[in-house]
Structure 1
Amino acid sequence: MGDRITVCATCREGAGRALAGRLAEAGVAVRLVECLNACGRPLALAVTGEGKATYLFAGVEPEEQAEEVAAFARLYAEAPGGEVADARKAGRLRFCLLGRVPA
């Protein structure tokens, strides 16, 4: 399994599906799930990769931050073990981070 972004499909009445579509068009591997259990701060997504740290984001604005999510995916792909040391290239997305789970 390569790196992928898991997006909540039910957040914001379809906004999760729209974001997943935009990410897929940008060449990012995406998986939709029914819930990431971050309902208090929709839209939620997780960035995962085998043997890598996992990042959980919430409060993502799908229309405004799709490119930031794609930028983080690129940083994550290049980061050893998924440990993104400097996420400034991901813009405001870094302020949506709920947590990082080590590999």
Structure 2
Amino acid sequence: MGETVLYVCTTCRRDGDDPEGPRAGARLFDALRVRAEGAVDLRVEPVECLSVCKRPCTVAVAAADRWTYVYGDMDPAVSAEIILAGLAAYAATPDGIVPWRERPTEFKTGVIARIPPFPAPRPFPAGTPEAAE
């Protein structure tokens, strides 16, 4: 099926975060990294910012030839298992679209964006120098 990548915003801050301690996004990343250790075809990547500061904690899931999803409002203390279950459903689809009724509640209420798969390159029109190559 190919690799699924989970991007986790490590700069997300939630109300009540200890200013001296790790931010909520970093805590979520740590929880996901530990729970996903050894998972086949899943890569958990920290990112500096997903620009969804009003909906912390935020993650994005992407894979080749599949829709990309961005989810927010995740709880760093309890969301890791929920996210991983949602990713398993995502990975089991041919296009990344999990039927609504099969999505975890947190994915239904936390969805921020759905982005189409990256388009295939267009062939160069006949008669252009690029087409001759």
- TM class, shorter-length: 0.7 to 0.9
Match of 2:31 in 1: 19
Q: Deviations over 1:13-71 (max 9, x none)?
A: 13243234234337242011100000111111001001100000011112111111001
Task: Count residues in correspondence.
Answer: 103
Higher relative contact order (CA closer than 8 Å, sequence separation 6+):
1
Q: Where in structure 2 are there 5+ consecutive unaligned residues?
A: 14-22, 118-133
How big is the alpha-carbon RMSD for the aligned residues of Structure 1 and Structure 2?
1.9
State the alpha-carbon separation in 1 of the partners of residues 101 and 11 from structure 2: 27
CA contact (8 A) 1:26 1:70 kept: no
In the alignment, structure 1 segments of 5+ residues that lack a partner are none
Please state if 1:48 is matched with 2:59: no
**Deviating more after overlay: 91-100 vs 72-81:** 91-100
Normalising by the residue count of structure 2, what TM-score does the alignment of the two structures yield? Answer: 0.68
Q: CA contact under 8 A between 2:28 and 2:75: conserved in structure 1? A: no
Aligned to 1:72: 86
Relative to total residues, which structure has the larger helix share, 1 or 2?
1
3-state SS of the aligned residue for 1:5?
Answer: strand
Bigger Rg over Cα: 2
Paired with 2:101 and 2:48, the residues of 1 have a C-alpha distance of 27
Query: SS of 1:99's equivalent?
Result: strand
Is the alpha carbon distance of 1:53 and 1:23 closer, same or farther for their aligned partners in structure 2, counting shifts above 3 Å?
Answer: farther
Q: Which amino acid in structure 2 is aligned with residue 15 of structure 1?
A: R
Instruction: Specify whether residues 26 and 72 from structure 1 end up closer, same or farther in structure 2 by C-alpha distance, changes over 3 A only.
Output: farther
Note if contact 1:43-1:62 (Cα within 8 Å) is conserved in structure 2: yes
